[in-house]
Chains A and B, each alone.
Chain A
């Protein structure tokens, strides 16, 4: 029996060796890790598109900085914080990764941020939403790049209230991100003179929102705020259309909607939806030029997460060049020292708590007759200047900065 034992152990060891045997790479490459949801709920808004965006950024930068080659690696965190954290840990410890980006899904971003804090490595978060990342969980080597729940609330929330939607009912995804989004949006609604009539928390992986929509309907609130994302938002909107909610006079406010969600819904269902994003492919010539290059590779238009990855990687490489160092704190200092301005991020400046304050935009989904192409989905209603968009309500500040 022990012989079986030995045989099996050898076999197991061989498998392990085969699977993971590579010595640590000597430090003459700069490695950028794109840690995203590659295969599940949020794969379309970040995922392989983000990896491609990172590669584009590296290519456009020239492929090397300070004599060192730049390499892009990618990983799938599957929306699980523990998976994300252990990939990040291994990347930092074992594979010589210097910076991690994308990090869609707030719980993963929070977990990876802890690892980054421990190891003093840079992470540039373009995918996650929760404002806690620059609030109570803030970390010195982390930048929250494209958007956060505060900006979404200040954008869509304020705009909708000002347009007359002063009573709200929230349909909230029952986890950290949903709670944060509902909290920040409620604050904005109330600050602008509106009232929150109620809310309902929907468990994860719920396909059918009809029951919750019915509750929203009977609340008689003028606005039904959707504090969820991805497939949840798509389902809620679809089913709201089915139950005649909009026809009955109530309006939907999608607090986090991406261009891929609208594309999936179709204009017939999503028409008139107001949303806040940090980037849209068809805003001006600059965005269109870059997006065309992205479209040629991915056959889809980019989301703000993917554009954000390109922007973040480019600025990161520039910062390395200027600071002449890949040391985490040094690069962050360099990033925070100047403005951030490119096709995706306008009039941007990284604050002490790590949030990149920049212009956000209020969009409205076009009616089918207004659209001239498969991805011609938004019309821009207004620009929300950074200071207004990212104005944070009291109570969720970064402890390191507050004092």
Chain B
């Protein structure tokens, strides 16, 4: 009865290549779950729109290149800013109104927004995907012995590590980050200190959204720029955030990379299960350590 559970063993050399690829996928998980963790930590909103905002980042990069002729490198800055602004608009128009309500409503509202955004783009662009060329400076491969590593993919790992570390630094080690963390714990008190908490909240949401868009720009050259790219990935990113601990920055980063690696390994040994293994891990983590690997105990 269980003959459909088949596991195959590859040569050791191929394993290193798979690990590297897992790391690359993990980079996307890390940036996306980082944004989600920040938004949840400060706003207590479960931002289901995150996937759609990731897609918006990719489409923005495509638009910049194919319509305005603006290349990849400026797009890395412009797209997150543009999408971040739409995030701020969303926060002002919608999220402010449900602050203080049960979290369920935030989830459903952002889920609804995600459906609207994805639906509109699908209506406009169809689903075959738009091509986005790898920037010429990063084209080409390098033979590193056990595999051919495309330069662009190496750049993805470097860029995402950089972004994650920079974000972690800002939140943990700078004064702005201190304000953010204080505002999570006791917004009223922080407000009395003269810090504009609502504006901080708004900017934080915009920042989290900008991170998602940045991931989108990074993804554009290697995944298809499709309206569904957000919904394909969002459920997995949620699982990553839960595993890491819902408000924990470090948890999101570490889990993102780690789960990318685990998923990569599963693709080698039992590829059909590679979409499901993250959920199995999530269930296990939730049963054993419900606040996540790095979260504070509930």
Contact = CB atoms under 8 A, between A and B. Distances in A.
Interface residues of B, number: 42
A260 interface: yes
B134 A242 contact: yes
A351 interface: no
Nearest to A47: B126
A231 interface: yes
Contacts of A201: 271-272
Contacts of B131: 238, 264-266, 269
Looking at A47, A239, A243, the one whose CB has the most chain B CB atoms below 10 A away is A243
B147 interface: yes
Given A207-B229, A207-B233, A208-B223, A234 B129 contact: yes
Contacts of B245: none
Given A208-B223, A214-B18, 7 more contacts: A39-B123, A43-B127, A201-B272, A205-B232, A215-B268, A218-B17, A243-B148
A261 B18 CA distance: 27
A375 interface: no
A203 B18 contact: no
B222 A44 contact: no
A2 interface: no
A309 to B, nearest CB: 18
A235 B224 contact: yes
Contacts of A47: 126
B196 interface: no
A96 B233 CA distance: 41
B14 A214 contact: yes
A109 B21 CA distance: 36
Contact of A207 (B126, B224, B264, B271): B224
Contacts of B268: 211, 215
Interface of B: 10-11, 13-14, 17-18, 21-22, 24-25, 122-123, 126-131, 133-134, 141, 147-148, 150, 152-153, 222-224, 226, 228-229, 232-233, 264, 267-268, 271-275
B133 to A, nearest CB: 8
Given A44-B128, A230-B128, A234-B224, A211 B150 contact: no
Contacts of B126: 43-44, 47
B10 A212 contact: no
Nearest to A245: B148
B127 A41 contact: yes
A66 interface: no
A247 B25 contact: no
